[in-house]
Structure formats: C-alpha cells, structure tokens
Amino acid sequence: MSRKVLKINRLKIYGMCGIVGLLYRKKNSEFGSIIIDMMQRLQHRGKDGAGVAIYGGLELSKDEYVLKVEVGEFNKRDVIEDILHKKCNIEEIRLIREGKDFVIFDFKIKVPDFKKLKSLLFEIQSLKDISVLSAGRFEMIKDVGTVSFVDSIYSISRKSGTHGIGHMRFSTESGVDRYHAHPFQSFIYPDVTVVHNGQITNYWKVRNVLEAKGHTFTTDNDTECIVHYIADKLLADYKLEEALESAVRRLDGPFSFIISTRNAIGVAKDKLGLRPALVSEDGEVFAVASEEVAIEPLGLNPEYLNPGEVRVFER
C-alpha cells in the first residue's frame, strides 16, 4: 500500500505525460523515426495514448489540404464524399485504419482558401457518427496505446518532415480514446497544434470566453482549451511568442506545453514552474522535451526553462 502511495505522490510532483518537439531548418527524410525515438524514451510518462503532428512532409500545392476523417460505418464514406464533391475537388482517398466499428480515411482535397476549408470542416463535424480528426497542410496522427503500437499502425517512423510535436499520455482527466489523445488542433486558425503536460485549472472560465467568440470544442480535455486560446491570439495578429506569453499570464495551473505552426515551434512553462520543460538548439536543430533522455541522441546541450518562460524557434 505504501509503495502505491509513494508512486502517486511522485507522479503528482513530477508531472504526468511526456511531450517532445523537434524542428529542422531543412526537410529531414528521417524525421519520423527521430521523433518516435524521442517519444519512446519518454514512454514511462504515459501509455494511455500517443500522437504526433508532423509538418513539411506532405507534397501539396498551395490550395491542397488533407482531411483525416473517422466514420462510424464504412458506407458513411459516401456521405462525406457527397459533401466534399459539392464543396471542393477530391484528389485522393486513402483508407488509413479499419476497426470493429469505425473506419479512418485521408481525403486529399483542393479548395480555394482556408476560409472555405473551415466552413467545410464545421459542416462535416455536425454530422452524426462522423468526426474530423485533423485537417490542414500537415499530418496529425493520434490513438490509444503505446508509442510503438501507434507507430506500428500508422508508420510514423517512415515519415519525413521539417518539424513537429509528440505526446505520450497519462490520463488524469477526460476519456481515454483517440479524440482525447494529443495533439489537439483548432480549426479557427490554419495548422496550429499543441501537446501538453499538466492541468489548466481555470479551464471552464477560459473556454466560456472562447466559445462566446465562436470557437467550437469537440472534447472536454483541458489541452483543447490551450490550442484554441493560442489560435485566437494568432487570429488577432499576435506573434507566436506574444501569444505564448499571454497564455502564461491567462492560464492557471501546473503546465508546460509545446505549440507548432506551419513555420515554428514554441514552448511555454507555467508561472510557478511546476511542470518540466527543457530546450536544446544549435542553429539548425531545435528540440524540446520533458526530460533530457529524450534529446540525448541529438547531441545537444539541454537548458531547463525558468518558471513562466517561453521560447520560440522559427524555420
């Protein structure tokens, strides 16, 4: 009994979940295998779920986007296709995963601009038993289970990219399923994702304000509140560093989180410094992690963030 109590206390002090971020100046053909290795080194921080958002690996023209959509039944693919055909051009359809009561597809589509895409996403999200898992000019993959299990299904380690973020989940609130796994995305602003370790204790207060502005929440996970908050600031023409600084002031609780956009990665730590986060960089590579062990193979010298500190690295 005493061992169990000590373990729980240790987790509460040190923090649950593991987070990583990685950015290269140039596209790296081994990006997927490198970020998976970083994540596996932090597997002890949580086995409830794993996920990544990888940027710069897809070959897309400026008006092409990828939608990852889950449907409750295989034949509901026709419902989505009907909607897409009316609103855009479907260039490719790929079956990603088929389970007992669900199917996941990737749709490569062409739309004039992000405004049109956003309207399309909200229409699909309103349908019963159909969910948009991610959408944009990047690739987001997340599911329940260990890093190795998720990688074995989605072949993350074979993907190339320029930058991205990863997460290993130890659930302390909300459901254990692929919707509540990290990363989280906001459809209000293009291609912004977040991974998070900690708790946002004024979650409902912040969420109510964002919903009044038109943000749509799809889960009750407090991490989703962070990505909507940052997206809201970026939409108001904040620079990424300014948005992170605002989040540190506005959000309460113990947290560290990593945010990714099309061209940058940022990291923020709570005002009291209650959740770990360290960074390393050499001008060509920027890495972020919860623990040093995740970035040891990169050969970079780690630096722990101070309480309330933020960092941004741009390509």
Q: Which residues are catalytic?
A: 17
With vertex at residue 227, the alpha carbon angle to CA 221 and CA 232, rounded to the nearest 5 degrees, is: 130
Question: Alpha-carbon distance 154 to 277, whole Å?
Answer: 27
DSSP string, 158-189: G--EEEEEEEEE--SSS--STTTSSPEE-TTS
Q: What are phi and psi of 229, to 5 degrees?
A: -65, -45
Contact in structure between 141 and 156 (CB atoms under 8 Å)? yes
Contact in structure between 183 and 142 (CB atoms under 8 Å)? yes
Q: How many CB atoms lie within 10 A of CB 219?
A: 15
